[in-house]
Structure 1
């Protein structure tokens, strides 16, 4: 799907306020309500808009700790990688999971309760014998920049 300037405006508005009413969104991008809604439906059908989420302040919800884990697998056969991926996808505390290029194979973001929460999850993963050669864990101590908006340009 080729995006025009109005589509980009819609995406910019939605990423900063996914709960904006269609009427307010239409006004903000210079359309009437019906064509605006049609464009949103088209963006959703094309798989460009894949959902609308709420963001939370973890500190107000409890004692959550975020960690990033770099994982290196013992071998790189596709079947082994798929087995590892299936197991990781079943862990609720894994909130992001990326196969990457470079010195390690996967980057896993874990959010768990308690200072030892990410380590407990990682121990479960290690004990499951999923073909991990090594891993490094990085506990997040602060997040000076939290940028949830993409720099979309016309």
Structure 2
């Protein structure tokens, strides 16, 4: 990621906070929301994009309306903990479309994976194929999502900025 050209100020944070929950907001409405005229607001957005603060624009889809699905989180612990073991595992899951997110974590296990499959039977087949794939998995614990209790609603930018002295 490119190094930011300058520190973020409160208006930049307002722009980012607004855009992360309203990705299709027009520049005019965004400018009104953050207290700028449209031209300087657009310049700031372009600068935030160029600096890497805005990585991409996506649509938040309602998967339940699109298809039958089951979401499962899995804790994965590897047999060995060398760089080669981590690389092999990460390469193995990288091309699996059902693994929609994956994090390398510290603590009681090595990875937290988020799967979306059409049903439990498909998830079971996929998890069994991972366990049989000789990619170094020692332990694999699954947690089926019943319902989202608090879906992701954006990062707490204002709270984080108050704690971080890198913001003007």
- TM-score (normalised: structure 1): 0.94
The aligned residue for residue 120 of structure 2 is 115
Counterparts of 2:43 and 2:121, CA distance in 1: 48
The aligned residue for residue 130 of structure 1 is 135
> 1:75 Cα shift?
0.3
1:105 to 99, 107, 110: 110
Counterparts of 2:36 and 2:121, CA distance in 1: 51
Deviation by residue 1:4-62 (Cα, 9 ceiling, x = unmatched):
01001101110111011111111211112221111111111221111111112222112
Gaps of at least 5 residues in structure 1 are none
The answer (yes or no) to whether the contact 1:70–1:137 under 8 Å persists in 2 is yes
Q: Partner of 2:103: helix, strand, or coil?
A: strand
Q: Partner of 1:8: helix, strand, or coil?
A: helix
Gaps of at least 5 residues in structure 2 are 162-168
Q: Partner of 2:92: helix, strand, or coil?
A: helix
Counterparts of 2:120 and 2:64, CA distance in 1: 13
1:87 to 80, 86, 92: 92
2:38 to 17, 33, 40: 33
Off by >4 Å, runs of 4+ in structure 1: none
Q: Partner of 1:76: helix, strand, or coil?
A: coil
> 1:115 Cα shift?
2.5
Q: Partner of 1:69: helix, strand, or coil?
A: strand
The answer (yes or no) to whether the contact 1:93–1:111 under 8 Å persists in 2 is yes
Query: Over aligned residues, Cα RMSD in angstroms?
Result: 1.2
